[in-house]
Structure 1
Amino acid sequence: MNTQAYPSPQFFMTAPAPCPYLPGHVERKVFTHLVGQRASEMNDLLTQGGFRRSQNIAYRPACETCRACISVRILVDAFEPTGSMTRVLSRNADLLAKEYEAEPSSEQFSLFRRYLDSRHIQGGMSDMTVLDYAMMVEDTHVPTRIIEYRLREEGDGIAEKPSGRLIATALTDMMSDGLSMVYSFYDPDLERRSLGTFMILDHIRRARALGLPHVYLGYWVKGSRKMAYKTRFQPQEHLLHQGWTRFRPTDGS
C-alpha cells in the first residue's frame, strides 16, 4: 500500500493594489502554486471553492472591505439559449472549432495582441510579449486545451488542421465537473458576431456532450459593466458564504 503523504499547499497574500474593475477600490489576492502530481486534483477543488487559475497559480480575491467578486458557473443541463443567443449561434454557423493541446502559435498571439490593443489597452495584460503569451498557454500542470475558431473554408472538414482565418481562441481547463474558461479572445473588428457570447455557448455545448454539469466563467463583479454579460447565461450558480447558490437575475445583476 502506498502511504506516501503529499504536502499541503501553501497559501500567500499579495500586497494591496488598485482594483482593475471598481475605481477607488483596492484589491488583495490569496494564491497558491498548482504544481506536482496533485495539481489537477487541487485545481478542481480550488476552482470549486472560488479560485481561478493563471499559469501555475491559483488565486482568489481576499479584499478586506469588498465582496463584489463572485464566482459564477453555468448549470449546463438546464441551460436553454435565449432568442438573441440563438441568433448568435446562427450568425456563427460558418465557423469551425478545433481543440488542441495547450500550445501557443504566432497566429494566436497576433490575434491576442489585436484583442488587447482594442479592448484592454490599459489593462494589466496590455504589455504582454510573445513570450508572456507562450507562458500563459504552456505553463500549466493541469489538463488544459486550446480551442481555435476559424472561418470555414473548402476542404476544412477533411484536413487535419483547418486553413480558414483564426478569429477567436479559448484557453480552457478540463475539470472533473466541468469546463473552466481560463481566458478567451477574438477579432475585435467582428463585433456583429458576438464572439465572446458564441464561445461561452460553444463551451456549454461541449460540456453537455462530455456529460459535465458546469461551465465556470470566473468572477462576476457586481457594479462592473465589463462583467455584466456573465449573468445572461441562465440558470447559473454563484458562490456565496453559504455555498453554491442558484442566482436569479432579479437579485440585482
Structure 2
Amino acid sequence: MREVNLKVGLTPKHPCSYLPGRLEQLLVLLDRELLCPQGYEQLLTAGFRRSGSDIYRPRCQACQACESLRIAVADFVPGRSQKRILRKNRDLRMVLSEHDKPEYFELYRHYINQRHQDGSMYPASRQQYEGFLLCHWLPPVFMEFRAGNRLIAVAVTDLLSDSLSAMYTFYDPDEEHRSLGTFAILSQIQLTKNLNKHWLYLGYQVDGCRKMNYKQHFRPHQRLIHGQWQTMKDGA
C-alpha cells in the first residue's frame, strides 16, 4: 500500500518515546473506511500500527530508527535460551479470552507503576489503559497466563485474517525471573501456527533502545527497511 493513496495527518513534533534527546512525528490515518480488520492488516504490511482505535506510523525526517518487525512463523525455530524459557514456564496455563476483565487492569497498573515509572504511561489509569489497548473496530483477544488460578501475565493480541499482531504484554513484576515477555511472544508464535496464519507482527524494532532489543532475538524475522521487507537471519 502506497502512502500517497492514504489520507493521513502529521502530528506536531514531540519527545521521542524510544530515543532520549530526539523528537518524533507520527503519521495518523484519517481514512475512516480503513478502520477495520481488513484495512488494518494491509496497513501492517506498510509499517503502520494501532494505538487504541487509531492507526499511526512514525515519520521522522532525520531518523529511520523505527523498523516494523514480523515473524514468518513457519520458519521460526526457538534458540537455546528460548527453549529454556519454554521449559521454565511449563507449569503455566494459557487461556484465551475475548472480554476485558477487571483483573487485567489491576495487573496492568501494578506492572506499569513498578516497571515504567520513567515513561509516559506512568502512573497507570483506567482511561489510559482503555485508550491504549482497546479498539472499537477490532476487539483484541487476551492471552491469559495463570499459575494455578493466579493471573501472572496478559498478552493483548489482535487476530487478523492472515496474521496476529502482538499489541502489548504486561505481567506481575515479582515473576520477572520467568522472562514472561519472551514467553508471551513464543506463545503468540505457537498460536499463530495453530490458527494456520502466516505472520506475527511485533511492532517496531529500535536498535538504539534497550527496552526494544528483545524483539531482534526472534530469528529469522523480517524488517521493513526503506519500504521493503528484508529477512534477518542468525548473525544478520
- For normalisation by structure 2, the TM-score amounts to 0.92
2:118 equivalent to 1:122: yes
Please give the per-residue CA displacement for 1:55-74, whole angstroms capped at 9, x wherever unaligned.
11111100010000000001
What is the root-mean-square deviation in Å for CA atoms of aligned residues?
1.8
Structure 2 residues not aligned, in runs of 5+: none
Do the aligned residues in 2 keep the contact of 1:36 with 1:141 (CA within 8 Å)? no
Q: Which residue of 1 aligns with 2:216?
A: 231
Do the aligned residues in 2 keep the contact of 1:16 with 1:28 (CA within 8 Å)? yes
Indicate the structure (1 or 2) with the bigger Cα radius of gyration.
1
CA distance in 2, matches of 1:145, 1:35: 23
Superposed, 1:1-253 pairs within 5 Å as 10-32=7-29, 39-101=36-98, 103-152=99-148, 164-251=149-236
The residue type equivalent to 2:174 in the other structure is D
CA distance in 2, matches of 1:55, 1:222: 25
CA drift of 1:137 comes to 4.0
CA drift of 1:134 comes to 3.2
CA distance in 2, matches of 1:81, 1:110: 32
Identity %: 39
CA drift of 1:178 comes to 1.2
The residue type equivalent to 2:120 in the other structure is G
CA drift of 1:34 comes to 7.4
Do the aligned residues in 1 keep the contact of 2:96 with 2:142 (CA within 8 Å)? yes
Query: Secondary structure of 2:96's match?
Result: strand
The residue type equivalent to 1:175 in the other structure is L
Q: Describe the shift of the 1:105–1:135 C-alpha distance in structure 2 as closer, same or farther (beyond 3 A).
A: farther
Query: Secondary structure of 1:123's match?
Result: coil
Structure 1 residues not aligned, in runs of 5+: 1-7, 153-163
Q: Which stretches of structure 1, 4 residues or more, deviate above 3 A after TM superposition?
A: 33-38, 134-138, 248-251
Do the aligned residues in 2 keep the contact of 1:34 with 1:141 (CA within 8 Å)? no
Please give the per-residue CA displacement for 1:104-149, whole angstroms capped at 9, x wherever unaligned.
2221111101111122112121133123323444433025211111
CA distance in 1, matches of 2:124, 2:111: 12
CA drift of 1:242 comes to 4.7
CA distance in 2, matches of 1:25, 1:131: 27
- For normalisation by structure 1, the TM-score amounts to 0.86
**Higher mean displacement: 242-251 or 120-129:** 242-251
Query: Secondary structure of 1:250's match?
Result: coil
Query: Secondary structure of 2:204's match?
Result: strand
